[in-house]
């Protein structure tokens, strides 16, 4: 068993050891709030996003997908309210000039570092600034987007005019967002550069309630399907004093982390706020005309907005397992959904110095790799090979051995049960495909 506190540090160390996630710029001492996905993690994250796209976009006829730009017209962030209101209140120590969020230091009256006096709380904006252009005096100040979803509102008119959509419909996007977070912490939980997956679902105002409830349910069911420990997922309804003025209600999907329940995704009632704001600031008519009734109105929006990296981290927390084996050793296994695993199968020749066995293994690898992401490992120690695949969450390992040369079967070991079965090489493709789709 692992104690709750050190699970995060175990995952950080496993992530580094196995090429899942690295601290960014580590050779320069690292930089807080930025991470890189390594050879294994980048495949896993891609699969995580592909599943979201499959279930929320391509399997539906009412949701389209976009991939918007990170830098937009600076007015966008004035219209959205981010220039004015995006940030936290901080107090600054008058002596050492360190800044703190009062709630994170228990509203202490003196600086915890040097006992100095604090200034009055002041709001700090967390948008990242940049500039467009190179000629001094002509540079246009701009921002890296503080949330991905704004691009969806910007493309709304183009999509309605050109993409054969009819209300109710959704626009989905996965993309980077940047926040100059004051206190990046807990690995991927709070970073300064991260990805969000958003759906903005546009409806007739009379149907808002129905679609809000629909998406709230859908998104929870989706996470429940993919996490092992469903009891670690819950809704948290926002209190009346947390609601923005245009929201009738708001719910977060939360995950129970070692440091308590934490937000993973928000389901937001946005009414006509965003389209109205952008209409006002851009001077464009963003209303929708119903092609059947001819009614013209500003659509209302249900937004589902989640963190790709944050939910991926929670998925790692959910799947990290340590098992005590009969010989007393500890087996570390990432019991992650096979659809998210970097490799669906690893193929090992039982002996690296038997050309017939190696060539049969390579044939199998080449055949399967046309359709699946698979790994090949001909290093010598079978125990080490299993350990590596367990730790990166590869669901099945196939061993080509002496018997394979006689009857064309291989042994397949299951990551979670460690049980082995024998299967004819010709049947592996179908077997794997039915396993992955079950
Ligand atoms: P929090 O209260 O945790 O800062 P938020 O309410 O500001 O989050 P939203 O603006 O609703 O978050 O963003 C939607 C989602 O984006 C969040 O549910 C979270 O999963 C993710 N997210 C937000 N900020 C970060 C961050 N700094 N690092 C990683 N993921 C983030």
Q: CATH number for the domain including 394?
A: 3.40.50.800
User: Which pLDDT belongs to residue 5?
Assistant: 57
Number of domains in the chain: 2
The mean pLDDT of 125-154, rounded to a whole number, is: 93
Confidence of residue 98 (pLDDT cuts 50, 70, 90): confident
How would you class 17 by CB atoms within 10 Å of its CB: exposed for 0-12, middle for 13-18, buried for 19 or more?
Answer: exposed
Residue 12 resides in a domain: yes
| Residues 158 and 275 grouped into a single domain | yes
Q: Say if residue 155 is in the same domain as residue 237.
A: yes
DSSP codes, 327-381: TS-EEEEE---TTTSS-SEEEEES-TT-HHHHHHHHHHHHHHHTTS-EEE---S-
Judge whether residue 1 has pLDDT over 50.
no
pLDDT at 3: 52
Query: What is the number of alpha carbons within 13 Å of residue 12 lying toward its C-beta?
Result: 13
Residue 136 belongs to some domain of the structure? no
Mean pLDDT (whole number) for 252-279: 97
Give the tens place of pLDDT for each residue, 55-79: 999 999 999 999 999 999 989 999 9
Q: What does the DSSP 8-state code read for residue 204?
A: -
SS3 readout for 257-301: ECCEEEEEEEEEEEECHHHHHHHHHHCCCCCEECCCCCCEECCEE
Residues 172, 230 within the same domain: yes
Give the mean model confidence (pLDDT) for residues 109-132. Answer: 91
Q: DSSP letter for 246, please.
A: T
351 and 271 part of one domain: no
Residue 196 CB less than 6 A away from ligand 1: yes
**Where does a domain end: 260, 282, 317?**
317
Would 326 be classed as within a structural domain?
Answer: no
Pocket test for ligand 1, best of 307, 308, 312, 315 (most atoms within 8 A of CB): 307
Look at residues 278, 301, 317 and tell me which one is the last residue of a structural domain.
317
CB 390 less than 6 A from any atom of ligand 1: no
Average pLDDT over residues 214-230: 98
Query: 340-357: per-residue pLDDT in tens?
Result: 999 999 999 999 999 999
Q: Does a structural domain hold residue 375?
A: yes
197, β-bridge pairs: 174, 306
CA of 261 to the centre of ligand 1 (A): 14
User: Is the alpha carbon torsion for 342, 146, 8, 239 positive or negative?
Assistant: negative
CA–CA distance, 59 with 53 (Å, rounded to integer): 8
- Evaluate if residue 105 carries a pLDDT over 90: no
Report the CATH number that the domain containing residue 248 is assigned in CATH: 3.30.930.10
87 lies in some domain: no
Q: Is residue 404 assigned to a domain? A: yes
The pLDDT of 72-101, averaged and rounded, is: 88
Q: Output the pLDDT for position 4.
A: 54
Nearest CA to ligand 1 atom 23: 307
The crossing angle, in degrees rounded to 10, of helices 39-53 and 308-319 is: 110
Rounded-to-integer distance, Cα 252 and Cα 264, Å: 7
- Whether 149 maps to a domain, the answer reads yes
- Please work out whether the CB of residue 309 comes within 6 Å of at least one atom of ligand 1: yes
Phi-psi region of 249 (alpha: psi -120 to 50; beta: other; left: phi over 0): beta
Same domain, 166 and 241: yes
**Shared domain check, 347 and 294:** no
Is 263 exposed, middle or buried (CB count within 10 Å of its CB: 0-12, 13-18, 19+)? Answer: middle
Residue to mutate, 244, 250, 263, ligand 1, most ligand atoms under 8 Å from C-beta: 263
302 and 386 belong to one structural domain? no
The whole domain housing 182 covers 4-72+143-317
Does 279 sit in the ligand 1 pocket, CB within 6 Å?
no
Please check whether residues 303 and 401 belong to one and the same domain: no
Q: Is the pLDDT of residue 400 over 80?
A: yes
Identify the pLDDT of residue 102.
87
118 CA distance to ligand 1 middle (Å): 28
Half-sphere exposure of residue 374: CA atoms within 13 angstroms, side-chain side: 25
Atom of ligand 1 nearest to the CA of 196: 16
From ligand 1's centre to the CA of 331, what distance in Å?
Answer: 33
What confidence category does residue 124 fall into, taking pLDDT thresholds of 50, 70 and 90?
confident
In this predicted structure, what is the pLDDT of residue 85?
Answer: 82
Q: Which residues contact 214 (CB under 8 A, 6 or more apart)?
A: 302
Tens of pLDDT, residues 167-192: 999 999 999 999 999 889 899 999 99
293 and 348 co-located in one domain: no
Residue 272 lies in a domain: yes
Q: Verify that 174 and 308 share a domain, yes or no.
A: yes
Helices (H) and strands (E) in the chain, counts: 12, 23
- Same domain, residue pair 376 and 426: yes
Is 370 found in the same domain as 279? Answer: no
């Amino acid at each position: 068993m692992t104690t709750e506190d050190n699970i995060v540090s175990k995952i950080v160390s496993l992530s580094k050891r196995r090429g899942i996630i690295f601290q960014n710029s580590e050779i320069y001492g690292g930089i807080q709030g930025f991470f890189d996905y390594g050879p294994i993690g980048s495949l896993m994250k891609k699969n995580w996003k592909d599943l979201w796209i499959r279930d929320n976009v391509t399997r539906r006829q009412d949701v389209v997908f976009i991939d918007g730009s990170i830098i937009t017209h600076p007015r966008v962030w004035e219209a959205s309210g981010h220039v004015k209101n995006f940030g936290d209140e901080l107090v600054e120590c008058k002596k050492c000039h360190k800044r703190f969020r009062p709630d994170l230091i228990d509203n202490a009256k003196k600086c915890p570092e040097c006992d100095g006096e604090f200034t009055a709380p002041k709001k700090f904006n967390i948008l990242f600034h940049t500039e467009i252009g190179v000629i001094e005096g002509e540079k246009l100040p701009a921002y890296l987007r503080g949330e991905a979803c704004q691009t969806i509102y910007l493309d709304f008119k183009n999509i309605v005019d050109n993409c054969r959509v009819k209300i109710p419909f959704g626009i989905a996007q996965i993309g980077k967002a940047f926040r100059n977070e004051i206190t990046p912490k807990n690995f991927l939980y709070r970073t300064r550069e991260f990805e969000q997956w958003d759906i903005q679902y546009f409806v007739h105002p009379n149907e808002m309630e129905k679609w809000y409830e629909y998406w709230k349910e859908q998104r929870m069911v989706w996470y429940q399907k993919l996490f092992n420990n469903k009891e670690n997922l819950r809704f948290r309804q926002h209190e009346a004093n947390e609601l923005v003025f245009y929201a009738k209600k708001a719910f977060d999907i939360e995950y129970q982390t070692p440091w308590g329940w934490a937000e993973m995704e928000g389901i937001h009632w946005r009414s006509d706020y965003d389209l109205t704001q952008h209409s006002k600031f851009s001077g464009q008519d963003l209303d929708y005309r119903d092609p059947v009734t001819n009614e013209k109105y500003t659509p209302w929006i249900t937004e589902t907005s989640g963190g790709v990296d944050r939910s991926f981290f929670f998925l790692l927390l959910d799947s990290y397992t340590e098992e005590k084996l009969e010989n007393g050793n500890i087996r570390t296994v990432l019991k992650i959904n096979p659809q998210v695993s970097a490799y669906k199968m690893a193929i090992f020749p039982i002996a690296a110095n038997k050309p017939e066995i190696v060539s049969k293994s390579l044939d199998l690898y080449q055949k399967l790799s046309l359709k699946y992401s698979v790994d090949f490992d001909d290093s010598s120690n079978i125990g080490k090979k299993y350990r590596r695949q367990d730790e990166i969450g590869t669901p099945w390992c196939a061993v080509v051995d002496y018997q394979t040369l006689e009857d064309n079967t291989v042994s397949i070991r299951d990551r979670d049960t460690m049980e082995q079965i024998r299967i004819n090489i010709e049947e592996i493709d179908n077997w794997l495909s039915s396993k992955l789709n079950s």
